[in-house]
Amino acid sequence: MNSDMKRLLFRHILFAGMLISISAILVNLFTKMPLQINIKWVILLLLTASLQFLGRKFPYSEIIPFLFFLVIIVFYMPYAFISAGGSRGDFLAYTFFILIALGYVTKGVYQKILFAALIIVFILLYVFDFVHPEMIPTYNPASHFYNRLIQVPILLIISYLIIKTFTDAYDESNDRLYYYANYDVLTGLLSRWGFSEHISKGFNTVYQDGILLLIDIDNFKLINDRRGHKVGDEVIKRFGEILQGYFGGNKKNLLCRWGGDEFIVLSFDSEKELDKLMEGVSREFLDYISNIEPLVDISIGSVHIKNCRSVDDLLTLADQFMYNQKRAKRKI
């Protein structure tokens, strides 16, 4: 998770602290609880509000949430636990909220230190509550009821927002990784890996009626040498667009940048239609490239999938036919 996402999650947590503090103070005033019980909420409100303000002024650093949670766990939690009625309060709910927050906004050594501190403080406080119950104050049950009625839903909502923010970022990252693994960034066509995955899975089934075209841009190196790699990239991109324009209409067709200046089309059009389409591709590309490098051309090797025993056979045959066409051109 990047720092911007962690900063957003940390701000959600701080906002939750402010909201819970304000609601607790109002409930305690409404139920006429002793004023001193609000001290812990005033402290939390000031702490979270200050960090919210400072977070807008200064760049995010992992030390900030670490120090915040360290103060909360080591100093604030014991005071809040005892003053709120010990195990009879909402301590367990807050502990789980802190646990979720730590898992998302901290990492490495910081996270391990905070997890260890949380567990140790939790155990010690419950032991203290059991051994010295006379030191834990008791309050009006109505106050506990109203606090839970307001604070627990707030904790659940903020926890949901934290988890949703993370899962959305995770899904977006996975989608981006999937695209980069399966598609060529320059042309938007399938990458070598993406095409290999498709053809391997469907070779003996859905792709048996297809015709594979292996297309190579002849003398492409001249463009890079004479016009530069930027122009070379533009040519590759344009050729991909031309293929997409002619073959993209059939959703079953697969278009791939196999590597460098080699492309693959897996077509399910009829042979007659395929010849017309490739004539159009060749004509449009040669019209385009003639103003950049007249010596550039394309060579094509075509193979029926049903005539091959494996993907390797298919690609090997296509490669042979393509180079046979290249050699024939050189003899002219």
**What is the four-CA torsion angle of 212, 315, 282, 202, rounded to 10 degrees?**
30
Confidence at residue 29, expressed as pLDDT on a 0 to 100 scale: 83
pLDDT exceeds 80 at position 88: no
pLDDT band at 161 (very low <50, low <70, confident <90, very high): confident
pLDDT digits (tens, 9 = 90+) for 172-229: 888 888 899 899 999 999 999 999 999 999 888 888 989 999 999 999 999 999 999 9
Six-digit token string for 319: 């490669």
Confidence at residue 194, expressed as pLDDT on a 0 to 100 scale: 93
Confidence at residue 4, expressed as pLDDT on a 0 to 100 scale: 74
In which residue are the tokens 């100093």 written? Answer: 75
Six-digit token string for 75: 């100093």
Task: Tell the burial category of 243 from Cβ atoms under 10 Å away from its Cβ (0-12, 13-18, 19+).
Answer: buried
- In order of their start, the domains of the chain are 3-181 (no CATH), 192-331 (3.30.70.270)
0.85 exceeded by pTM:
no
**Of 18, 44, 12, 48, the residue nearest 159 (C-alpha):** 12
pLDDT exceeds 70 at position 55: yes
pLDDT exceeds 60 at position 26: yes
Contact assessment for residue 254 and residue 199, using Cβ atoms and an 8 Å cutoff = yes
Distance CA(101)–CA(94), nearest Å, equals 10
How far is residue 89 from each of residues 14, 141, 231, measured CA to CA in Å?
21, 10, 69
Lowest-pLDDT range of 82-91, 107-116, 203-212, 319-328: 82-91
How many C-beta neighbours within 10 Å does residue 279 have? 11
Confidence at residue 23, expressed as pLDDT on a 0 to 100 scale: 83
